[in-house]
Amino acid sequence: MATGSTMLGSPTPQFVGAFALMSPVLADRTLESCGSLQSASSNPTADTLSPPASARIPLADSRCVVALWAWPLHQTIERCYVSSPWIKGRRKAETKARLCFSVSSVSEMNGTETRRRAHPSTNGKSSGTAEEPGQWGRAWEVDWFSLLGVISLLCFAPFIVFYFIMACDQYQCSVMEPFLDLVSGEATLGSVFERSASFTWSAAKIYAIWVSFQVFLYMCIPDVLHMVIPGYVGGVQDGARTPAGLINKYEINGLQCWLITHVLWVANAHYFHWFSPTIIIDNWIPLLWCTNILGYAVSTFAFIKAYLFPTNAEDCKFTGNVFYNYMMGIEFNPRIGKWFDFKLFFNGRPGIVAWTLINLSYMAKQQELYGHVTNSMILVNVLQAIYVLDFFWNEAWYLKTIDICHDHFGWYLGWGDCVWLPYLYTLQGLYLVYHPVQLSQLHALSVLLLGLAGYYIFRSTNHQKDLFRRTEGQCSIWGNKPSYIECSYKSSDGEIHKSKLLTSGFWGVARHLNYTGDLMGSLAYCAACGFGHLHPYFYIVYMTILLVHRCVRDEHRCSSKYGKDWKKYTDAVSYRLIPGVF
């Protein structure tokens, strides 16, 4: 932790990058400076959708400069979109959705707690009253700070990933040495790249087979596990209600895919010998180029698809900024056909199924290089496998998490799942290939206990919320009937829905104890690598930034969604992550 804090405290490239990754979403605020650009020039519904008066300031405002140079590109795309005959039919619905959001989102993003504007219901189930519940969704507009963050990330995030992998490959996992070499002129960017493995067709073939195999498992093998394993929830499941009020169906078969993949991996390692178990680490840098190609291709496809053939136009969100749209996504739940859901597939499959295989490959490499596997490597494999298996065992629950319920699908998820996750979440195993640390029994036991305690808090907290929401409060939490706060919110069709916020069990201790447990587990993975280098501790630094930021972002969104009811909840449960501290 001390190491992590050191990194956090100094403006190293890693920290700046990791922070930058989160910054665009952190600043989900209304763009006051550039609002007039969007409404006057490009917005296809500009005549009906004007930002509030406070958003209208002269174009010459210097804060708009960054946005302006991107403007021609954005306008071209918007124009193609508007003039596409294919899309015209959908525009009506989208305009309606935009109207619904726009009238309320700006004031809500600014923290207004009560809404006095009446929204007539479209389906007659309920109607607006004098004091309305909040409405949720991401901001429609982007401030210049977010824009800068977005552009920096799009340019630099792939290099951050490369930096950490290259540091092991060329500098024995030293984080500072490559940086110092570059600063002192002993190395140049060119020489660093020259020394790195380049793209190879054999890596491309491996990666293509891998992704195709995962698509095949996802699409073609319906789940049977839920029929044979008691307590496991799989098969066709409902997602959460989208901002437009839809409930999508998902085929939950992740556990089955994970099992088939791993059985084949083990069978190959012991019987078939089609490929070496070190195949992943042996092609690690060439594979990095392939994952980047897929990450950018998927994000670009999702971006274009949102303009040309969105799955559900009412759940699209255009901020008026092309970079932000590209990064944070436009479509909420892009799909191909009825079942290929981009979020569920890319979030879970090529990256998280691969996570445990990557670790196994590292383990095999240690065995190959040193003739034995260290206890630290076993600990990392076991603790991370628990986390991955937990994810797939609870995949139906995952449909109710922020990734699926609230984030739109763009580069942030598409590229992040293809590249960031498999490369940076597995840094500990990679480090241990270069530094085969053998831990003392006490150290190993402490790491194991920390990891298991973290997992217990993480899982129990998530389980309590899931149970509470599934049974609508008709359950027992810590042996008692749960206490909760009744709340309501509004979807973009104007319909009002009821919900409940749990205030007992772990949710009565702090508002995000599941994140705290996750952080404890993350720290355990890092501590399993000993204290010799900063490299494996990047993960805890990154996770802290990710989850603290996520916590702030989620609370901002919940406050917009639930208004005064959220305030009641925060009054009842005062702390976010650590009772008495934060």
User: Which residues contribute to the site for ligand NDP (CB under 6 A)?
Assistant: 401-402, 458, 462, 465, 499, 501-502, 507, 512, 514-515, 518, 550, 554, 558, 561
Structure token pair of residue 317: 């969100």
For ligand NDP, give the closer residue by CB, 443 or 561: 561
For ligand NDP, give the closer residue by CB, 95 or 499: 499
How far apart are CB 115 and ligand NDP at their closest, in Å?
Answer: 17
How far apart are CB 220 and ligand NDP at their closest, in Å?
Answer: 28
For residue 374, what are the contacts with CB-CB under 8 A and spacing of at least 6? 366, 432, 436, 437, 438, 439
Distance between CA atoms of 381 and 364, rounded to whole angstroms? Answer: 11
Distance between CA atoms of 393 and 233, rounded to whole angstroms? Answer: 8
Asked if residues 432 and 374 have their Cβ atoms less than 8 Å apart, the reply is yes
Sign of CA dihedral 33, 34, 35, 40: positive
Smallest Cα–Cα separation from 327: which of 553, 138, 538? Answer: 138
How far apart are CB 451 and ligand NDP at their closest, in Å?
Answer: 14
Structure token pair of residue 470: 């599934």
For ligand NDP, give the closer residue by CB, 15 or 81: 15
For ligand NDP, give the closer residue by CB, 119 or 561: 561
For ligand NDP, give the closer residue by CB, 63 or 497: 497
For ligand NDP, give the closer residue by CB, 192 or 545: 545
Q: Is 240 helix (H, G, I), strand (E, B) or coil?
A: strand
Give the residue nearest to ligand NDP (CB).
Answer: 401
For ligand NDP, give the closer residue by CB, 138 or 465: 465
Asked if residues 396 and 463 have their Cβ atoms less than 8 Å apart, the reply is no
Distance between CA atoms of 383 and 544, rounded to whole angstroms? Answer: 18
How far apart are CB 551 and ligand NDP at their closest, in Å?
Answer: 8
How far apart are CB 390 and ligand NDP at their closest, in Å?
Answer: 10
How far apart are CB 558 and ligand NDP at their closest, in Å?
Answer: 5
Structure token pair of residue 129: 């009253």
How far apart are CB 495 and ligand NDP at their closest, in Å?
Answer: 15
For ligand NDP, give the closer residue by CB, 435 or 465: 465
Count of other CB atoms within 10 angstroms of residue 564: 14
- C-alpha distance from residue 533 to each of 182, 204, 451, 526 (Å): 19, 32, 20, 10
The number of residues in the chain equals 582
How far apart are CB 255 and ligand NDP at their closest, in Å?
Answer: 17
For ligand NDP, give the closer residue by CB, 269 or 572: 572
The DSSP result for 151-213, as a single string, is HHHHHHHHHHHHHHHHHHHHHTT-SHHHHHHHHHTSS-HHHHHHHS----HHHHHHHHHHHHH
How far apart are CB 133 and ligand NDP at their closest, in Å?
Answer: 12
